[in-house]
């Protein structure tokens, strides 16, 4: 019996005692939701391109457009993970800045008479710092354009899209994670960011998403079995090595 099948066979009461009521489903659904999120972007491709073009993405200009990727906590990591890709594909200045930094020191990150596009990531769309940062920016710097990516259609940040200089992209409620950890919400908002990087060539990004989803469906059960074997070895410490974002 695999580690995944063991988890799937747990009773509802056992899942609740282990904190797996939502998280297990949210982990396993990711590959399929990536396909759905990509199609959601495709359906909005025209209005997305219009907004990004109006914001200055891809335009010939004497000074590059400045793009800030904004989020708090785990949502900030989305910005960090896609920063280099957006900078390469859009050929402009891209920087990931935590919303907590902007809340206390916004003037340190915004230059006068400079064009900005802010892309804000928020699962709930209701985080106090995320809402406050947007409210401050809209009031103090009206020329900044904002692209909001959120998983909660009822969140306050989704409603900012009613303004002319704001575009709110709301994902399916299915990826509005109910568990403690951000799983579906993180990866699906990252898929949106990747799609934005390829907004002029979305058709070429489709096969990449399909390959990711196929690979994810294969990797998840294998990774769970690997984690089970590691846990059973009773290691006292773990060191993670990587090559950066």
Res 5: pLDDT: 84
Percent of the chain scored above 70 by pLDDT?
Answer: 99
Res 26: pLDDT: 93
Cα distance between residue 158 and residue 10, in whole Å: 36
Cα distance between residue 121 and residue 69, in whole Å: 8
pTM for the model stands at: 0.91
The domains of the chain are located at: 3-232
Q: Give pLDDT tens digits for 156-176.
A: 999 998 888 999 999 999 999
Cα dist. 53→23, 110, 183 in Å? 38, 21, 31
Residues 6+ apart with CB under 8 A from 29: 174, 175, 184
Q: Give pLDDT tens digits for 41-63.
A: 999 999 999 999 999 998 887 78
Res 7: pLDDT: 85
Q: What is the rounded average pLDDT of the residues 16-39?
A: 93
72 band by pLDDT with thresholds 50, 70 and 90: very high
- Is 82 a residue whose pLDDT tops 60? yes
DSSP class of 114: -
Q: Which two tokens stand for residue 160?
A: 């900012």
- Is-contact 199 48, C-beta < 8 A? yes
Q: What fold is seen in the domain 3-232?
A: Rossmann fold (3.40.50)
**Angle of CA points 171, 119, 75, to nearest 5°:** 65
Q: Measuring CA to CA, which residue among 129, 127, 100 is closest to residue 109?
A: 100
Residue identified by tokens 């990087």 is 197
Phi-psi region of 199 (alpha: psi -120 to 50; beta: other; left: phi over 0): alpha
244 band by pLDDT with thresholds 50, 70 and 90: low
Q: Give pLDDT tens digits for 171-215.
A: 999 999 998 889 999 999 999 999 999 999 999 999 999 999 999
């Amino acid at each position: 019996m695999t580690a995944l099948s063991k988890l799937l066979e747990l009773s509802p009461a056992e899942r609740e005692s282990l904190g797996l009521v939502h998280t297990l489903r949210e982990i396993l659904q990711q590959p399929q939701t990536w396909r759905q999120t990509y199609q959601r972007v495709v359906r909005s491709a025209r209005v997305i391109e219009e907004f990004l073009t109006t914001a200055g993405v891809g335009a010939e200009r004497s000074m590059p457009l400045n793009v800030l990727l904004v989020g708090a906590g785990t949502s900030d990591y989305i910005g960090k993970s896609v920063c280099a890709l957006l900078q390469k594909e859009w050929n402009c200045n891209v920087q990931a800045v935590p919303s907590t930094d902007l809340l206390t020191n916004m003037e340190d990150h915004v230059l006068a008479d400079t064009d900005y596009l802010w892309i804000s990531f928020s699962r709930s769309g209701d985080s106090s710092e995320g809402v406050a940062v947007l409210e401050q920016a809209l009031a103090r710097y009206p020329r900044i354009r904002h692209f909001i990516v959120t998983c909660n259609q009822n969140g306050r940040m989704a409603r900012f899209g009613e303004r002319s200089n704001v575009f709110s992209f709301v994902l399916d409620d299915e990826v509005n994670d109910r568990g403690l950890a951000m799983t579906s919400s993180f990866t699906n908002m990252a898929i949106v960011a990747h799609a934005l990087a390829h907004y002029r060539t979305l058709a070429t990004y489709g096969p990449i998403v399909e390959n990711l989803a196929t690979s994810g469906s294969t990797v998840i059960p294998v990774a769970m079995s690997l984690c089970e074997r590691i846990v059973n070895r009773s290691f006292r410490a773990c060191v993670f090595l990587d090559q950066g974002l």
